[in-house]
Structure 1
Amino acid sequence: MSRSARLVPAAAALLLLAVTGTACDGGAQDTAGGPGLHDPYFPKAGNGGYDVGHYALTLDYTPAGRRLTGTAVITARATQDLSAFDLDLAGLRVDSVTVEGRAARWSRRGQELTVRPHAGLSDGETFRTTVRYSGTPRTLTDPDGSREGWLPTADGALALGEPVGSMAWFPGNHHPSDKATYDITVTVPSGLQAVSNGELTERRTKGGRTAYHWHTAQPMASYLATVAVGHYDIARSTGPHGLPILTAVDPTQAGASAKALSAIRGVIKWEETNFGPYPFSSTGVIIDRPDDAGYALETQTRPVFPGAPDTSTLVHELAHQWYGDSVTPASWRDMWLNEGFATYAEWLYKEDHGGPSTRETFRRFYDGDHEEIWAFPPARPSSAAHISDSPVYQRGAMVLEKIRRTTGDDTFYDIVQGWAAAHRHGTASTAQFTAYVEKKAPDKDFHEIWKDWLYGDGRPRHA
């Protein structure tokens, strides 16, 4: 996410009502999966007892009435014996639930959809859950006051999920630690486009409505899934090694976006040089109107921008394809592994293109009037409302600059490229990162960097 582009409206509380479905108390038993993974900032996010392998989402949306009808087919593997399990779903009406083709009992409480299969599931068993649902999807309000979920736009809608907004438009295990592949089919009135992650594999029109089928073959955290419905200028080109590039631009933004669109290929090539091979099978951007969202977001393979991005923001969101999208944080406490890396990518790009060196940028933040940077350590945000604040971004980048100075350039680039390769399409924690750095540079002492810069309170005494 690009914090510089993020607008924070007045905070509003999110009220989720308990809704009960077919007769079932939904109470946990000894073999029920847990409702929530106890994330330090979003404890109700995600669910225990299973691991999702694939989501097949079939959506039908009519902007005029803001009505969404959906079917989610979720293929998962039980990680324990299960008499019941939970899915995250905010709002929307559940019409039916089946597990392995048989009707299942279910209940609602807040964001939890508790499912009781007809028969218990065994540890290691792969099972398929189908949820049919409908209604008006919600726009949720983050703890920091920003909007996510399903955002109505001037000509359609935009689905953004960080950190938990994806539960506003499909049921799932909505925590970054559970990644899956996706097929997303969106049907909209003919004349509108529906753009999502990955590659467009089919487009068909019938009865005045057009269905777009998008396939994401590499694992993706649910917060990185997106759907953009509206009028777009769609263009296709190729990047390094023939990498497919698909861009979708609101016609009102076409002129202002020309520079950014022409820069994509070069930015990807530069980032491959610095971070290693691009981790996905396609890339591109979605550029909507400035009022449609208050921030840019690194939605996988196709980042979303509110209006034409400048070069730094483009570099930032595309760098996330390595750091955040391919290597995804194990919990929201590890957010700096996303934002510190993407911010440092901006610094590196400027250094390589006639701007200040990373050392000079570091010094500007250290010496300047930037008290907000020292509000808390990057690896320990003070609350859920602050996981997208300056310490996570700028001070996170400063940690990387300190590592670079300690190791020298050759080892530093071995670290950042090796980290992306070692955890490609997986998840990782801050503890794993610090251990990886120490392993790659065993003759260096990183104790002071971790103590003062990564975990320490306040402004370190020495730069």
Structure 2
Amino acid sequence: MISKASAQPSPGADTSGDSYLPLHGNGGYRVRHYDLELDYKIGPNRLSAAAVITAEATQALSRFTLDFGEFRINRVLVNGKPAKYTRRGHKLNVKPAKSLPDGSEFVAEIHYVGNPRPLSGLWGDIGWDELTDGSLVASQPVGAPSWFPCNDHPADKATYRVALTTSSPYLVAVTGNLVARHSRASTTRWVFERPEPTPTYLMSVQIGRYDDIELVSGAIPGWFSHPEAAAYRISLVGDQVVASVPQRAAVPPRLRRAFSRDFGRQGQIMDALQRLFGPYPFGEYVVVVTDDDLDDPIEAQGMSIFGANHVDGRRTHERLVVHELAHQWFGNSLTVADWRHIWLNEGFATYAEWLWSEESGGQSAHSWAKAWHLRMKARPADLRLADPGVARMFDERVYKRGGLLLHALRCTVGDAVFFPLVKAWATENRHGLVTTAAFVALAERFAGRSLDAFFSLWLHKSAMPPLLVP
């Protein structure tokens, strides 16, 4: 028998405790799996859906909360029984018919309908958004509740099954392996599974009139209709064996020619990053190019989304191609435990751009570092990399100073230490959660000495440290 007092959630159970975004995410439970059944009508932007969420209580619960947007809720069940619920802002408060014991597994089922739209925040509108002809999802950092009820915090990674039914002329790409596709009358039902632990903000849906393109030779033909899409091939690159990852793209027909040029080195980029960071962490890589312009590319689990403006046939934006692919290791497989560690995502992705330039015969990483060091020194010295503040999570200085830290570390410890360190960081933490302190500890382990003075300057001081000469 659970007492009334012990069944109540502890203070803050409806918050994540995140140092930057405590109101996004919830306490008292951990999600294990999301099963989403979505029926989407493109013209009226109408979503009818059911979400089945399997979770584990981390304390005795008489109620719990989910992050959720402005949909009409038709029914809520917990463990198969009707549950009471209330709405407050973007929180759905659920009271099960029977309290949930600490450590118990429970299943919440939410049926809902409405017009999905982005959520407003510090970074503009984020989440499910309509295109001129189709839809996209861009959820970083807090847009996932715009289309499904969830525990919206990066530390609560779960597996997914997403089934989406929509008009047959449209191609659907969801972050996951396509396991089934069935057409009936004028609609097609697409079913995707995401078996790797995935944070809510990295789940994405892309719907458009796209051509299905093979990105690199050796990938599986007909990717978006193939049930065995996660198969790997093995190849020898230099003196290392790397997995040849199935890679496909969804591209508007009018952009195919320019796309083939801009992404013509995709296979070499993937091979280079696998040599540097270890095996690609997912079963597939999908690139989507929307028919609309986008301010910035979008990262998702096993997927990157670019705007039409990022494709010009001149490889103008190839650094962004590298940056978004690098996020599959840093940000997606390795997910920050708290948003204040965001430099671990953006610093590594930025440095990957410089490493690819060096690898492909362009400017050396040191040349890029020198140029950006000069530019960062000219900017206000009011940002600390280890704690930039919520308003500056996506400040350019977080990206570039993060890349500069990594280059300075490379100059400090030497290539013989730095590159094995980076690979170990990616492989030892595969599909896990990471923090700044954990990276510092690993760097000191590989260096065989204290690096406290180095990291104190680069992480915790606002003034720009000098750039070492390799």
Query: Could you state the TM-score of these two structures normalised by the residue count of structure 1?
Result: 0.89
Pairing of 1:63-82 with structure 2 (within 5 A): 63-82=42-61
Contact 2:301 2:332 in 1 (8 A): yes
Q: Where does residue 266 of structure 1 map in the other structure?
A: 268
Question: CA shift at 1:373, angstroms?
Answer: 7.2
Picking from 224, 229, 232, the partner of 2:207 is: 229
Question: CA shift at 1:189, angstroms?
Answer: 1.3
Pairing of 1:294-313 with structure 2 (within 5 A): 294-307=295-308, 308=310, 310-313=317-320
| Matches of 1:235 and 1:364, distance apart in 2 | 37
Q: Where does residue 70 of structure 2 map in the other structure?
A: 91
Q: Where does residue 284 of structure 1 map in the other structure?
A: 286
Structure 1's 388 and 101: CA in aligned 2 closer, same or farther, altered over 3 A?
Answer: same
Pairing of 1:8-47 with structure 2 (within 5 A): 29-30=8-9, 34-47=13-26
Q: Where does residue 389 of structure 1 map in the other structure?
A: 395
Amino acid at match of 1:258: S
RMSD: 1.8
Q: Does 1:117 align with 2:124?
A: no
Structure 1's 229 and 368: CA in aligned 2 closer, same or farther, altered over 3 A?
Answer: closer
Contact 1:327 1:423 in 2 (8 A): yes
Question: CA shift at 1:374, angstroms?
Answer: 3.9
Pairing of 1:56-455 with structure 2 (within 5 A): 56-145=35-124, 147-236=125-214, 238=219, 241-291=243-293, 293-307=294-308, 308=310, 310-368=317-375, 371-372=378-379, 374-382=381-389, 384-443=390-449, 445-455=450-460
Query: What is the SS of the residue equivalent to 2:263?
Result: helix
| Matches of 2:167 and 2:24, distance apart in 1 | 33
Contact 1:32 1:82 in 2 (8 A): no
Contact 1:144 1:386 in 2 (8 A): no
Amino acid at match of 2:258: A
Deviations 1:70-126 (A, max 9, x none): 111111111111111110002112111111111111111011111111111112211
| Matches of 1:148 and 1:446, distance apart in 2 | 38
Contact 1:86 1:114 in 2 (8 A): yes
Contact 1:399 1:449 in 2 (8 A): no
Bigger shift: residues 162-171 or 365-374 = 365-374
Question: CA shift at 1:370, angstroms?
Answer: 5.5
Contact 1:92 1:136 in 2 (8 A): yes
Question: % of aligned pairs identical?
Answer: 38
Contact 2:160 2:195 in 1 (8 A): yes
- How many residues were matched structurally? 432
Bigger shift: residues 395-404 or 293-302 = 293-302
| Matches of 2:412 and 2:380, distance apart in 1 | 22
| Matches of 1:376 and 1:416, distance apart in 2 | 25
Structure 2: which 5+ runs fail to align?
1-6, 220-232, 235-242, 312-316
Structure 1: which 5+ runs fail to align?
1-27
Amino acid at match of 2:322: V
Structure 1's 275 and 369: CA in aligned 2 closer, same or farther, altered over 3 A?
Answer: closer
Question: CA shift at 1:461, angstroms?
Answer: 5.2
Question: CA shift at 1:203, angstroms?
Answer: 0.8
Contact 1:86 1:113 in 2 (8 A): yes
Deviations 1:257-306 (A, max 9, x none): 11233322211111001001111111121111342x32112211111111
Structure 1's 248 and 421: CA in aligned 2 closer, same or farther, altered over 3 A?
Answer: same
Structure 1's 209 and 370: CA in aligned 2 closer, same or farther, altered over 3 A?
Answer: farther
| Structure number with higher relative contact order (C-alpha < 8 Å, ≥ 6 residues apart) | 1
| Matches of 1:298 and 1:174, distance apart in 2 | 16
| Matches of 2:364 and 2:446, distance apart in 1 | 24
Q: Where does residue 16 of structure 1 map in the other structure?
A: none
Question: CA shift at 1:33, angstroms?
Answer: 7.1
Q: Where does residue 225 of structure 2 map in the other structure?
A: none
Structure 1's 462 and 286: CA in aligned 2 closer, same or farther, altered over 3 A?
Answer: closer
Amino acid at match of 1:298: E
| Matches of 1:110 and 1:30, distance apart in 2 | 20
| Matches of 2:211 and 2:320, distance apart in 1 | 21
Query: Could you state the TM-score of these two structures normalised by the residue count of structure 2?
Result: 0.88
| Matches of 1:76 and 1:369, distance apart in 2 | 44
| Matches of 1:67 and 1:426, distance apart in 2 | 35
Contact 1:205 1:211 in 2 (8 A): yes
Q: Where does residue 51 of structure 1 map in the other structure?
A: 30
| Matches of 2:332 and 2:385, distance apart in 1 | 19
Bigger shift: residues 154-163 or 434-443 = 434-443
Amino acid at match of 1:454: L
Question: CA shift at 1:242, angstroms?
Answer: 4.4
Question: CA shift at 1:460, angstroms?
Answer: 2.5
Q: Where does residue 459 of structure 1 map in the other structure?
A: 464
Amino acid at match of 1:371: A
| Matches of 2:162 and 2:351, distance apart in 1 | 33
| Matches of 1:413 and 1:378, distance apart in 2 | 22
Query: What is the SS of the residue equivalent to 1:303?
Result: strand
